[in-house]
Amino acid sequence: MEAKAKLTMLRATPQKTRLVANLIRGKDVKEAEDILRFTPRGAAKPMLKLLQSAKANAVNNHDMFEDSLFVSKIMVDEGPTLKRYLPRARGRADLLRKRSCHITVVLEERRG
């Protein structure tokens, strides 16, 4: 049995978000929450809320025990990119890419 939660269109780059996701992959939920609470990165706060949402889904919808939950999968996929232009000298323009990402967290119960 597994419980999922998804966050779409997070305005953070997938590359930077994957750095935070790698910290909690395979960890117990309690330990992962502690790690995210003290990680000084922009993606840590939304990921903490997403983890708590997945935990609530597991406990309320799937009757799983909170103490035996762990992060079995966490995936960070690329979302749509907003393209904006920055004016430069001599009438030129630079392209700014404002990237976004989608995060999926899957929790499972430890056996034994």
Per-residue pLDDT of the chain (112 residues; tens, 9 = 90+): 899 999 999 999 999 999 999 999 999 999 999 999 999 999 999 999 999 999 999 999 999 999 999 999 999 999 999 999 999 999 999 999 999 999 999 999 998 6
Residue 61 identity: N
Phi, psi of 14 (to 5 degrees): -60, -35
Question: 3-state DSSP call for residue 72?
Answer: strand
| Whole-number Å distance between alpha carbons of 39 and 52 | 16
Burial 10-22 (b: 16+ CB within 10 A, else e): bebbbeebbebbe
Q: What is the DSSP letter of 52?
A: H
Question: What Å distances lie between residue 98 and 7, 14, 28, 68, 88, CA to CA?
Answer: 17, 11, 33, 38, 18
Q: Is 14 within 8 Å of 77 (Cβ atoms)? A: yes
The CATH H-level (homologous superfamily) assignment of domain 2-109 is Ribosomal protein L22/L17 (3.90.470.10)
pTM score:
0.94
Domain boundaries in the chain?
A: 2-109
| Whole-number Å distance between alpha carbons of 112 and 103 | 29
